[in-house]
Amino acid sequence: MLTVVIQAGGQSSRMGRDKALLPFLGQPLITRLVARLTPIAAEILITTNRPADYAFLGLPLFTDKITDRGALGGLYTAIEAASQPRVAVVACDMPFASPALLQFQSRLFEAESVDVVIPRREAGYEPLHAVYRRAACLPAIEQALQAKQWKVISWFPSVRVRPLSADELAQHDPRGLAFVNVNTPEEFSQAENLARQFNDSRPI
| pLDDT tens digits, 130-170 | 999 999 999 999 999 999 998 999 999 999 999 999 999 99
Round the average pLDDT of the chain to a whole number and report it: 91
* Cα 18 from Cα 190, distance rounded (Å): 17
pLDDT value for 160: 98
pLDDT value for 12: 55
> How many other C-beta atoms lie within 10 A of the C-beta of residue 152?
18
Structural contact between residues 106 and 85, judged by C-beta atoms closer than 8 angstroms: no
pLDDT value for 18: 82
CA proximity to 53, closest of 92, 87, 18: 18
Q: What is the 3-state secondary structure (H, E, C) of 71-116?
A: HHHHHHHHHHHCCCCEEEEEECCCCCCCHHHHHHHHHHHHHCCCCE
pLDDT, greater one: 203 or 201 = 201
pLDDT value for 68: 74
pLDDT value for 203: 47
pLDDT value for 36: 95
What residues does each domain of the chain span? 2-197
Instruction: Give this prediction's pTM.
Output: 0.93
**Residue 166 burial (CB < 10 Å; 0-12/13-18/19+)?**
exposed
Q: Tell me: pLDDT of 88 over 60.
A: yes
Fold of 2-197: Spore Coat Polysaccharide Biosynthesis Protein SpsA; Chain A (3.90.550)
**Residue 135 burial (CB < 10 Å; 0-12/13-18/19+)?**
exposed
Q: Tell me: pLDDT of 11 over 80.
A: no
* Cα 9 from Cα 18, distance rounded (Å): 7
Q: Which H or E run contains 151?
A: none
